[in-house]
Amino acid sequence: MSTPRWRVERARGSAAHVLGQPLPDGRSMRIVSITAPAVVLGSTQALDVVDASRAATAGVDVVKRRGGGGAVFVGPGELVWADVFVRASDSLWSADVSVAFHWLGAEWTAALADLGVDAEWHDGALCTTTWSRLVCFSGMGPGEVSVDGRKVVGICQRRTRAGSLFMCAALLRWDPAALVDLLALTEQDRVRATAELTPVAQGLDVTEDALVAAFQSRLEAS
């Protein structure tokens, strides 16, 4: 049986527009270019974890994705957003929800190695912290990628009977205050959260185009 080919797409628009797109049919990688800043919440998070007044004043949208995890701040130059879909019949798909991330973490790690970045993907259980239920990059889940112990690629999954959509966020810069300032926290907790979140992640010292090209190359070879 021949290996399915990857379809590569580009999407451009607001986070709400992109998250409203239908699932692909077959192996697909969609690179997303966000045109406006947004806080993207996990499926189990309530909208009120964000201070609506602060977000409105800052001109930041608040939207929810159909995938788990905490909040992510997205916007131009902030990260590489890549949606990866595989069918339930694909050899890359796994019935084990945790193991399902492993192959993708390995691909991100290999892509970063191609760019001279020494990274590793997490093959253990979910690691939580004080802020991980609130902020995505505060915890470390299966398949997610770190450099020198700092998270650089976050991945969440939306599973349907058709297959799995993996929403990947590879950091180009890490400024936790940009997100923390929009959350419904006391001023004291904002100061504490910013200080404690600063060392848990980092931006990658690569260009967006180079990272996309390296990741696409690795996927197409899988």
Higher pLDDT residue, 71 or 1?
71
Q: How do 38-41 and 61-64 pair as beta strands? A: parallel
pLDDT of 81 > 80? The answer is yes
Model confidence at 175, pLDDT cuts 50, 70, 90, reads very high
- Over residues 127-164, the pLDDT tens digits come to 999 999 999 999 999 999 999 999 999 999 999 999 99
Q: Identify the sign of the CA torsion 59, 18, 163, 30.
A: negative
Query: How far apart are the C-alpha atoms of 67 and 96, rounded to whole Å?
Result: 16
Pairing verdict, β 38-41 and 120-121 = unpaired
Mean pLDDT for 10-17 is: 96
d(CA 47, CA 31) in angstroms, rounded, equals 26
What would the mean pLDDT of 42-63 be, rounded to a whole number?
97
Q: How far apart are CA 36 and CA 176, in angstroms?
A: 18
Q: What is the per-residue pLDDT for 78? A: 96
Percent of the chain scored above 70 by pLDDT? 99
Quote the mean pLDDT of the chain: 96
The class level of CATH for 7-220 reads alpha beta
Regarding pTM above 0.85, the answer is yes
Q: For residue 111, what are the CA distances in angstroms to 49, 75, 119, 179, 216?
A: 34, 23, 10, 27, 8
pLDDT by residue (tens digit) across 53-68? 999 999 999 999 999 9
Give the pLDDT confidence score for residue 222 in this predicted structure: 83
Backbone angles phi, psi at 73, to 5 degrees: -90, 120
Q: Domain locations in the chain?
A: 7-220
Quick one: pLDDT at residue 2? 55
CA angle 148, 221, 68 (to 5 degrees): 55
Cα 35 from Cα 26, distance rounded (Å): 27
Band of residue 4 on the pLDDT scale cut at 50, 70, 90: confident
Q: Which amino acid is at 38?
A: A
Average pLDDT over residues 119-126: 96
Cβ–Cβ contacts within 10 Å for residue 70, how many? 22
Q: In which residue are the tokens 């970045």 written? A: 117
